[in-house]
Amino acid sequence: MRELLDAKRSRKSEQLSADQLALFAAAWQARQVEPETPAKPDGSDDDDSNAAPGGGESVAKKRTGGRQPLPRHLKRERIVHDLAEEERHCADCHQDLRPIGEECSERYEYIPAQLTVIEDVCKKYACACTVKTATKPPRPMEKSTAGASLLSQVIVAKNADHLPLHRQEKIFQRHGVDISRRPCAAGWPNAPIC
């Protein structure tokens, strides 16, 4: 605050206006009168503890350490680990154990990309005079073994992620698939990457 007042009184070309100084003074006063909230006895951190006393704006919660919560938009899979049936019995008092709660922890797991083979089967029907075959949906590139999702992955990896085609070819080889990076303009049916 003293530096701000000195800056206002000094004869520099860049001086603070009265409005700017009032903003800093208001923030400084709010910080001085901010009450410290005692920790709850059960150790829980609820969002209602952030509310200001007058029901106004919420005060930013200080985190003193620990892990950041994992993002809520990610897909979650719940795996329940339970005691075996013979472990649900107390050896000392010979009574059945009853559930009293659970402990939850979260972790990141990476599931690598998966390649699947989609087999288009076109049924054929015939009579004495004609044969009819069902039509399959059109492909983005005729006579290519790549579907639309594989082509879009290659395009995004090349243009957005700057992953050259020879590296993408090695990534697909690690998946056990030999996809050539040769140009498809030559008409090779096993070269979906352009």
In a domain, 119, yes or no: no
Q: How far apart are CA 8 and CA 65, in angstroms?
A: 38
In a domain, 159, yes or no: yes
In a domain, 77, yes or no: no
Give the dihedral of Cα atoms 52, 56, 60, 61; nearest 10 deg.
Answer: 30
In a domain, 156, yes or no: yes
Phi, psi angle pair for 186, to nearest 5°: -75, -10
Higher model confidence: residue 47 or residue 62? 62
In a domain, 37, yes or no: no
Say if residue 58's pLDDT is above 90: no
Q: What is the count of structural domains for the chain?
A: 1
pLDDT at position 162:
93
In a domain, 25, yes or no: no
Q: Domain residues for 157?
A: 124-186
Q: How far apart are CA 86 and CA 68, in angstroms?
A: 37
pTM: 0.47
In a domain, 92, yes or no: no
Name the token pair of 90: 């107390």
Residues 128-177: tens digit of each pLDDT: 888 888 988 888 888 888 888 888 999 999 999 999 999 999 988 888 88
Q: How far apart are CA 138 and CA 82, in angstroms?
A: 49
Average pLDDT score over residue span 92-96: 88
In a domain, 3, yes or no: no
pLDDT at position 158:
92
